[in-house]
Amino acid sequence: MPIVNPIRPNFIGDLTNIKAKIKTDVTQTQYIFDEIIYVAGLFGHSPSVQYQHLIDILDSRDHVYDVIKRAGIKIDVKVTGALTECICQIALDATIPNRYSTLPNKWKWLGDFAIIASPFNLYVSVKSYKAKERLLVSGTGQFTAPVIGYGLFDKPGEWSESRTKQYKQRGFIAIYMPRALYDRLSASSKTVKNIYERPLLRIIDDFADDISAACPAGTYEIDYDSF
């Protein structure tokens, strides 16, 4: 993808000052995220339009990360994780803006977002590049309050058929990942079904559409059959 906008001239200088706590009116995460959206040419657009251009956002993210790296600035792993949450949140803002909440730190073991539902919430657990054990142990472990996994995962070895089935046993009903990774997985992993007999592993592009279909407007019910 051709980058729509160049990095703003003051970006690295301001980011350096933010890290040094000289500039305190914005967090590292928000500042980098705003630059990613700006470079993608999507600043000021609605969340719906932004998520339709998810691939452009991810390409822009890679470009911004490269500029930061070449400037000799190290991005903290917590900031990387928070940026992935920001990308996931675009989809939530596009589909159910008034029906989800960000979980506070003391509830992060459950996930990062709670989709409000009756009688039990649906949780979204966001990870960046590696699932490891952190994704598997998140959530409630119960199908009555299930979990969705969302991440920019990049390691096919984490998604063997047997490993994927463990997520189903832990109450996950869907896990979203980049198409580049999904296309590299074995057919046996891709055919693992959730408890509703639908694919457990999915491409990240479909996340917003799936959430919209499962969460009808004007109600706190969730159509789990659509998952």
Strands 100-102 vs 113-115: parallel, antiparallel or unpaired: antiparallel
What digits encode the pLDDT tens for the residues 34-53? 999 999 999 999 999 999 99
The Cβ of residue 76 has, within 10 Å, a number of other Cβ atoms equal to: 11
Domains of the chain, by residue range, sit at 11-75, 100-226
Cis peptide before 2 (omega within 30 of 0): no
Which residues lie closer than 8 Å to 65 by C-beta, 6 or more apart? 75
What digits encode the pLDDT tens for the residues 63-73? 999 999 999 99
Q: What is the pTM of this model?
A: 0.93
The pLDDT tens digits along the chain (227 residues) read: 456 899 999 999 999 999 999 999 999 999 999 999 999 999 999 999 999 999 999 999 999 999 999 999 999 989 999 999 999 999 999 999 999 999 998 888 888 999 999 888 999 999 988 777 778 777 777 777 889 999 999 999 999 999 999 999 888 999 999 999 999 999 999 999 999 999 999 999 999 999 999 998 888 899 988 88
